[in-house]
Amino acid sequence: MESPAERVTNVASEEAPLRIESRRFGTLDVPADRVFRFGNGLIGFPASQRFVLLDHKPGSPFKWMLSLEDPELAFAVADPIDLVPSYEAPVKRAAKQLEADATNVAIFALVTIPNDPTQMTINLMAPVAVDLKTMRAEQLILDRPDLSPAHRVVAIKAEAEVTATSKAEEQK
């Protein structure tokens, strides 16, 4: 089954493609109807309003959200449920905010992947929502104390072992 983020990249196109030149991704011809638009841009990037999703690798949960205004600006994104299975995607809120049918809404989140991938985080507090019918997008701000803008994706095995050892010693 296709993830919501994959649905954004699999929209059928009848319009002429847009040519994008990027040092990171090379020259790309992107179907015009795969472009989604943020009315106010992303937080911190108001000038970047048009984006396209690019596949990272086949089978990877990651995609690249590439700015058309600045093709050197790209964000790693993923369907948050792929990385945090307990996450409850705010589809109803997104649909209301986008004035869309919930079945046409894709949710994905920005991912930070540092040199040490065990330190990877995902922004669950400010996911991106896209109406697949109109290709309108918004970055949602979820005011919930249980969500973090830097949720750790990979649990460190050593941390778990230290915790388990400490608990075992406390019980002695």
Q: What is the pLDDT of residues 155-164, one digit of tens each?
A: 754 444 444 4
* Spatial separation of the C-alpha atoms in residues 126 and 77, rounded to whole Å: 12
pLDDT band at 16 (very low <50, low <70, confident <90, very high): confident
Number of domains the chain is built from: 1
pLDDT > 70 fraction of the chain, expressed in percent and rounded:
81
For the chain, what percentages of helix, strand and coil (3-state, to nearest 5) are there?
A: 25, 30, 45
pLDDT > 90 fraction of the chain, expressed in percent and rounded:
59
What pTM was computed for the model? 0.77
* Spatial separation of the C-alpha atoms in residues 56 and 122, rounded to whole Å: 16
The better pLDDT of the pair 17, 10 is held by 17
pLDDT at 171: 54
- Return the closest-CA partner of residue 124 out of 77, 159, 171, 60: 77
Q: Which of 17-21, 47-51, 73-77 has the lowest mean pLDDT?
A: 17-21
pLDDT at 168: 52
Mean pLDDT for the chain overall:
84
pLDDT band at 56 (very low <50, low <70, confident <90, very high): confident
* Spatial separation of the C-alpha atoms in residues 163 and 12, rounded to whole Å: 50
CATH code of the domain covering residue 155: 2.30.290.10
* Spatial separation of the C-alpha atoms in residues 122 and 26, rounded to whole Å: 26
8 neighbors 83 (Cβ within 8 angstroms): no
Q: What is the pLDDT of residues 92-103, one digit of tens each?
A: 999 999 999 999
Tokens in use for 98?
């986008």
Q: What is the pLDDT of residues 132-159, one digit of tens each?
A: 999 999 999 999 988 989 999 887 544 4
* Spatial separation of the C-alpha atoms in residues 139 and 116, rounded to whole Å: 27
How far CA 17 is from CA of 32, 103, 162, in Å, comes to: 5, 26, 53
Dihedral sign of CA atoms 54, 103, 109, 130 in order? positive
* Spatial separation of the C-alpha atoms in residues 91 and 105, rounded to whole Å: 7
How much is the average pLDDT of 80-97? 92
Residue-number span of the structural domain to which 99 is assigned: 4-171
Q: Which helix (H) or strand (E) segment is 66 a member of? A: strand 62-67
